[in-house]
Amino acid sequence: MIRFEHPLSERVRSFLRIEHLFNRFHAECERDNGPWAHHLALFTLFEIMECAARAELKLDILQELERQKKLLSSSRLTASEITLRHEELQKVAENLQGIQQKFGQHLRENEWLMAIKQRMLVPGGTSPFDLSSYYFWQQQSFEYRLADLHRWIATLMPTYHAINTLLNILRSNTRAVDCIATGGNYQHNSLAQNIHMLTIELDSNRHALPEVSANKYFTHIRFLSASQECARGRPITEDVPFKLIMSSFDPVVV
């Protein structure tokens, strides 16, 4: 089975992008196969800087964390589970608030890193003769480079942990419905206002990709064939069974 997540708000879209980049950063950090994995990890670090630089992001996260704490009283969790969840929410909020500087500011103040960031935008711009100091860093041991990467990402981690906590909540508050896209198309008149993300789960052997258009008034899912030859595959005309999973930040999905 394969799952495709479709955010229904710009906030959730930002959360998913940032989560994706952090996951990629950590995966590349741990690959001990020469300097190229750490080159990609550093490039991903620069992507995280740009993706999470929006000034309102921190406020959005803190407001949702606070709202989640208030929602605990109406949840179906046991008293001990509520206490643990409250402590988790409180901890990630305090850690995020503890970072006083602008997101990634310590990286922007590092001239060496910013020179590399600029050169990464130029095809072949990080060749050894262009950036000899970066080439020197790449020739250091795996442990040396990994320590630097962990040091550079450290003050960004509270943002990741807070977003990860909220996405775990979102993915746990779900309602799943078995559906069939007749002739490759599925339509639904409306979604509840508290739905923040749709997930389409289907058999990966079908080589099908969902194209989703959704708002509170109308939902349309069209399935296209997976193709590596063009940006969009051809529309699928046969019936496609799939599971539609509706996710919400609220305790109960209506």
Same domain, 180 and 138: no
d(CA 168, CA 16): 11
Quick one: pLDDT at residue 252?
Answer: 57
Q: Is residue 253 part of a domain?
A: no
Find the domain containing 241 and state its range.
173-248
Domain boundary residue, one of 167, 195, 216: 167
Helical H segments across 154-225, by residue range: 157-172
Instruction: Render pLDDT for 62-85 as a digit per residue (tens, 0 to 9).
Output: 999 999 998 887 777 788 888 888
> Confidence band (pLDDT; 50, 70, 90) for 104?
confident
Query: Does residue 2 fall inside a structural domain?
Result: no
Percent of the chain, pLDDT > 70? 98
Instruction: Write the CB contacts of 68 (distance below 8 Å, at least 6 apart in sequence).
Output: 89, 166, 169, 249
What tokens does 227 get? Answer: 């193709």
Q: Which is more confidently placed, 79 or 12?
A: 12
| Integer Cα distance of 136 and 130 in angstroms | 12
CA distance 242 to 135: 49
Q: Kindly report the CATH number assigned to the domain that includes residue 205.
A: 2.60.440.10
Say whether both 143 and 22 belong to one domain. yes
The answer to whether 54 touches 92, Cβ cutoff 8 Å, is no
The reply to whether 254 falls in a domain is no
Q: Which of 167, 186, 219 is the last residue of a domain?
A: 167
Query: Do 105 and 68 fall into the same domain?
Result: yes
> What are the tens digits of pLDDT across the range 160-201?
999 999 999 999 999 999 999 999 999 887 776 788 999 999
CA distance 128 to 131: 5
Mark whether 163 and 178 lie in a shared domain: no
Which of 146, 167, 188 marks a domain boundary?
167
* 238 and 218 fall within a common domain: yes
Average pLDDT estimate for 237-249:
93
Return mean pLDDT, the chain: 90
In this structure, the answer to whether residues 236 and 121 fall within a common structural domain is no
| Domain shared by 136 and 72, yes or no | yes
**Co-location of 65 and 159 in the same domain:** yes
Whether 195 contacts 253, CB under 8 Å:
yes
pLDDT of 253 > 60? The answer is no
Q: Is residue 4 one of the residues assigned to a domain?
A: no
Count: domains in the chain: 2
pLDDT band of 133, cuts 50, 70, 90:
very high
- Average the pLDDT over each of 82-91, 95-104, 194-203 and give the range with the smallest value: 95-104
Let me know if residue 66 belongs to a domain.
yes
Query: Whole-model pTM?
Result: 0.90
Tens digits of residue pLDDT in 16-55: 999 999 999 999 998 877 899 999 999 999 999 988 888 7
Give the CATH number, domain containing residue 160.
1.10.3900.10
